[in-house]
A and B are shown apart, each in its own frame.
Chain A
Amino acid sequence: MFGLTGEQQQFRDSLQRLLRADYPFERRRAIAQSATGWSAEIWRGLAEIGALALTVPEAHGGFGGGGMDTFVVMEECGRALLLEPYLATIVLGAGIVARAGNEAQCASILPAVGAGERQLALAHYEPGTRFAPEAVACEARREGGGWELNGAKTWVLNGTTADLLIVTARAAGDLALFLVEPSAPGVTVHDYPMYDARRAADVRLDGVRLTAGARLGSGDARPALAETIDAAIAAVCAEAVGAMSVLLDATGQYLKTRKQFGVPIGSFQVLQHRMADMLIATEAARSMALLAASCIGHAAPGEHSHTVSATKVRVAEAARYVGQQAVQLHGGIGVTDELPVSHYFRRLTMIEMAFGDVDYHLDAVGRRLFDRELQ
């Protein structure tokens, strides 16, 4: 179990070839400083090798891949510290459209996303709330034959470059999803940089008028939203595993070459044992990330969320430990912007908090163990 199929290995090889050739760290630095913060050329490259269509359903021009396929892509994203919005457009955006959308909506959105022609963003979290998925105040009111949307969203990944926002809102007791054009009257998108060199947006929705067809699917969207967030957690956990393995290698190399007191610092047992603990943390994280990836789309929903929360705790703690210790073991150079190590550390720090921090998911694991109500 948890082994890759021959197809998955082949795909991983071609993704590695692409990223090794086209994504050296200096190029990445330039991309991060560009206007959009990611590269359309790299995005096309990803589309060409099939990475974008990999998990899109077969009925809509994709390859119908599952959680393990996402694991393969995201681990490489983590290794390369990829800035391009795979998580936002594919895992969150296409993921929720495929889970909640009706046939026509899927057919109009997903093939273009898989082909790399369209960008999506899920606008869900709100200012003044934390991680609980229920905390949505944004409201959708019936207005004529359609809807009127009012509210505010924060931490919208890819919010500025998306062609289409998928907005969560309360609609008569249900949690509903709406397809919103960023250019629609009443939509304000405020773009900002984050400490991991990515960009996000805050979105205001003031009396945004939508047609009836702008509602994504029908009925309560809670299950689709929960599953999509679980899939996103599994995805960032795989990304973290990739990033941690790069930090392990880099730190191991540094310990072998950096000399103090006339010897390589890797000859000091206190540092050796720190590295051993970093390796154990990374392998523990990998084990759980594989488990989470393998249950996305398979296990029963309750089980699935339990595994995903457990995975998030394990991976977030490993990400913090490995990230902080990689910086520590590099000493002075570790705290510079020049060294890739500090960039990996910053991304891992972001992942640690993304979609619920350790406290949130630890609490969820405990409550599920004793059948207590979730918060």
Chain B
Amino acid sequence: MDLGLSAEDTAFRAEVREFVHRKLPLELRHKVLGGARLTKEDYLTWHRILFERGWIAPNWPRAFGGCEWSAMRQHVFEEECALAGAPGIMPFGIRMVAPVIMKFGSAQQQQRFLPRILSGEDWWCQGYSEPGAGSDLASLKTRAERQGGHYVVNGQKTWTTLAQFADWIFCLVRTQADGRPQEGISFLLIDMRTKGVTVRPIIMLDGEHEINEVWFENVEVPAANLVGEENKGWTYAKFLLGHERTGNAGVGQCKRWLAELKTLAQRQPGNDGRPLADDARFRDRIARLEIDLMTLEVMNLRVLALEQERHAPGPEASMLKIMGSELQQALTEATMHALGHDAAVYPGPATGRYLNFRKASIYAGSNEIQRNIITRHILGL
């Protein structure tokens, strides 16, 4: 797709492409392209390579060691990395908690946490959802009671992605029981090695261990780990979710998946023995996915540009989240269908991806919740 890149951005694209081809370890590339599950070390290997080059934080300000790239450069970078088969950058530190620490954290917290997020020394996970608090996130019950210089945390978080790898968890906790549910929430940073923290795996429908329950039993957290003010956590939580949703678009990954699907459609036979690419119905389906991807790409650029202009994500991120997750699901579905009987083999990467990505319309606020946000904050209904 021709986005009318400037000469500088075209040169930047070439620079990124050359770097990724030179630095991305081949076995890692093949794992990603083959749809294999990545280990913690796989993610960290690529994280460190980008960190050494100074490219690990495309959206951070330079003052904190980020790239502060334009929307277009962030887009080009993500696309080149994804197409070449690089693992994604884990969002929990770089994209999610870091912007909160930059905007609402103390200078000490910034100095303590941000460099370790950049270097990959600390792996973060997200302590938002609870068994009784899904879409109604503000009803969360995990308690944090102030006792001297500590908070004592009790409760349970769930659906915690890759908590088994994490060194730290950012948590929404209840510090005040009365008033509106949103008013008694605080934002705490908790070391996963603290006594009383237990991680229990949840096996997903694809048979994989990606998400967890995280239990807190009398966990002592230094008061210095409170971000911003007590009981103001809901504001920080929403700010973080905006960043998370912009990141959910996954344009680069969708591009790679669509390219795979096109290759597959030329190889797999249709019902008349000719390739699926010559089956008008299947080709229409791929054409629709191509159009959805082009749309997502431009939407992503428009939303990123708005975000930069305002220095904060807006409710438009909810549109991007819906479009991105729907496309990811449609792509995984079409790829599975293209395989015909071969899709039945378990475990198989295409079917695994289809099953796994049912999560996309649920996490980061279900797509129905995104529509509520759009209704209230854009349409004013």
Chain A residues in contact with chain B, CB under 8 A?
1-3, 252, 255-256, 266-267, 269, 272-273, 275-277, 279-280, 283-284, 287-288, 290-291, 294-295, 298-300, 303, 307, 310, 313-314, 362-363, 365-367, 369-370, 372
B46-54, B294-302, B351-359 - the one binding chain A:
B294-302
Q: Mark B272-290, 1 if CB is under 8 A from A, else 0.
A: 0000011010011011101
- Known interface pairs A288-B298, A365-B287. Does A307 touch B2 (Cβ–Cβ under 8 Å)? yes
B189-197, B208-216, B218-226, B370-378 - the one binding chain A:
B370-378
Given contacts A1-B305, A272-B372, A370-B277, 10 further A-B contacts (CB under 8 A): A252-B379, A255-B381, A276-B374, A280-B374, A284-B299, A288-B294, A290-B298, A362-B284, A363-B280, A365-B287
Contact across chains for B72 and A279 when beta carbons are under 8 A apart: no
Contacts of A280 in B (CB 8 A): 319, 322-323, 374
B262 within 8 A of A: yes
B149 within 8 A of A: no
How many Å from the CB of A37 to the closest CB on chain B? 34
Contact across chains for B381 and A287 when beta carbons are under 8 A apart: no
Tell me which of A2, A266, A284 has the highest count of chain B C-beta atoms within 10 A of its own C-beta.
A284
Q: Across the two chains, which residue of chain A brings its CB closest to B300?
A: A287
Contact across chains for A279 and B277 when beta carbons are under 8 A apart: no
Question: When chains A and B are docked, how far (Å) is the Cα of A291 from the Cα of B370?
Answer: 26
Contacts of A363 in B (CB 8 A): 280, 284, 287
Contact across chains for A1 and B4 when beta carbons are under 8 A apart: yes
Contacts of B179 in A (CB 8 A): none
How many Å from the CB of B256 to the closest CB on chain A? 16
Contacts of B287 in A (CB 8 A): 313, 362-363, 365-366, 369
B345 within 8 A of A: no
Q: Mark B299-335, 1 if CB is under 8 A from A, else 0.
A: 1011001000000000010010011000000000000
Contact among B262, B278, B368 with A273 in the assembled complex (CB-CB below 8 Å): B368
Q: Mark B129-166, 1 if CB is under 8 A from A, else 0.
A: 00000000000000000000000000000000000000
Contact across chains for A1 and B2 when beta carbons are under 8 A apart: no
Question: When chains A and B are docked, how far (Å) is the Cα of A299 from the Cα of B368?
Answer: 38
Q: Mark B1-28, 1 if CB is under 8 A from A, else 0.
A: 1111000000000000000000000000
List, sorted by A's number, 28 A–B pairs whose CB atoms are closer than 8 Å: A1-B4, A2-B302, A255-B381, A272-B371, A272-B372, A272-B379, A273-B371, A276-B374, A276-B379, A277-B371, A279-B319, A283-B316, A283-B319, A287-B302, A288-B295, A290-B298, A291-B294, A307-B294, A310-B290, A313-B288, A362-B284, A365-B287, A366-B280, A366-B284, A369-B262, A370-B265, A370-B266, A370-B278
Chain B residues in contact with chain A, CB under 8 A?
1-4, 72, 262, 265-266, 277-278, 280, 283-284, 286-288, 290-291, 294-295, 298-299, 301-302, 305, 316, 319, 322-323, 368, 370-372, 374-375, 378-381
Contact across chains for A300 and B2 when beta carbons are under 8 A apart: yes
How many Å from the CB of B343 to the closest CB on chain A? 21
Contacts of B380 in A (CB 8 A): 252, 256
Question: When chains A and B are docked, how far (Å) is the Cα of A256 from the Cα of B28?
Answer: 54
Q: Across the two chains, which residue of chain B brings its CB closest to A251?
A: B379
How many Å from the CB of A25 to the closest CB on chain B? 23
Contact across chains for B298 and A256 when beta carbons are under 8 A apart: no
Contacts of B298 in A (CB 8 A): 2, 287-288, 290-291
Contact across chains for B291 and A365 when beta carbons are under 8 A apart: yes
Contacts of B379 in A (CB 8 A): 252, 272, 275-276, 279
Contact across chains for A370 and B262 when beta carbons are under 8 A apart: yes
Contacts of A314 in B (CB 8 A): 291, 295
Contacts of B319 in A (CB 8 A): 279-280, 283
Contacts of B1 in A (CB 8 A): 291, 303, 307
Question: When chains A and B are docked, how far (Å) is the Cα of A266 from the Cα of B380?
Answer: 10
Contact among B295, B374, B378 with A284 in the assembled complex (CB-CB below 8 Å): B295
Contact across chains for B368 and A294 when beta carbons are under 8 A apart: no
Contact across chains for A275 and B284 when beta carbons are under 8 A apart: no
Q: Across the two chains, which residue of chain A brings its CB closest to B299?
A: A287
Q: Across the two chains, which residue of chain A brings its CB closest to B309?
A: A3
Contacts of A313 in B (CB 8 A): 287-288, 291
Tell me which of B262, B280, B295, B370 has the highest count of chain A C-beta atoms within 10 A of its own C-beta.
B295
Contacts of A290 in B (CB 8 A): 298
Contacts of A362 in B (CB 8 A): 284, 287-288, 291
Question: When chains A and B are docked, how far (Å) is the Cα of A283 from the Cα of B374?
Answer: 12
Contact across chains for A365 and B277 when beta carbons are under 8 A apart: no
Contacts of B316 in A (CB 8 A): 283
Contacts of A298 in B (CB 8 A): 2, 4
Q: Across the two chains, which residue of chain B brings its CB closest to A288?
A: B295
Question: When chains A and B are docked, how far (Å) is the Cα of A291 from the Cα of B1?
Answer: 10
Contacts of A1 in B (CB 8 A): 3-4, 72, 301, 305
Contacts of B266 in A (CB 8 A): 370
Question: When chains A and B are docked, how far (Å) is the Cα of A275 from the Cα of B379?
Answer: 8
Contacts of B295 in A (CB 8 A): 284, 287-288, 314
Question: When chains A and B are docked, how far (Å) is the Cα of A275 from the Cα of B381?
Answer: 9
Contacts of B375 in A (CB 8 A): 272-273, 275-276
Contacts of A255 in B (CB 8 A): 381
Contacts of B294 in A (CB 8 A): 288, 291, 307, 310
Contact across chains for A366 and B283 when beta carbons are under 8 A apart: yes
Contacts of A277 in B (CB 8 A): 371
- Known interface pairs A314-B295, A362-B287. Does A284 touch B323 (Cβ–Cβ under 8 Å)? yes
Question: When chains A and B are docked, how far (Å) is the Cα of A314 from the Cα of B289?
Answer: 11
How many Å from the CB of A323 to the closest CB on chain B? 18
Question: When chains A and B are docked, how far (Å) is the Cα of A353 from the Cα of B343?
Answer: 38
Tell me which of B4, B380, B381 has the highest count of chain A C-beta atoms within 10 A of its own C-beta.
B381
How many Å from the CB of A252 to the closest CB on chain B? 6
- Known interface pairs A283-B299, A291-B298. Does A369 touch B286 (Cβ–Cβ under 8 Å)? yes
Contact among B2, B368, B378 with A295 in the assembled complex (CB-CB below 8 Å): B2
Question: When chains A and B are docked, how far (Å) is the Cα of A358 from the Cα of B228?
Answer: 52
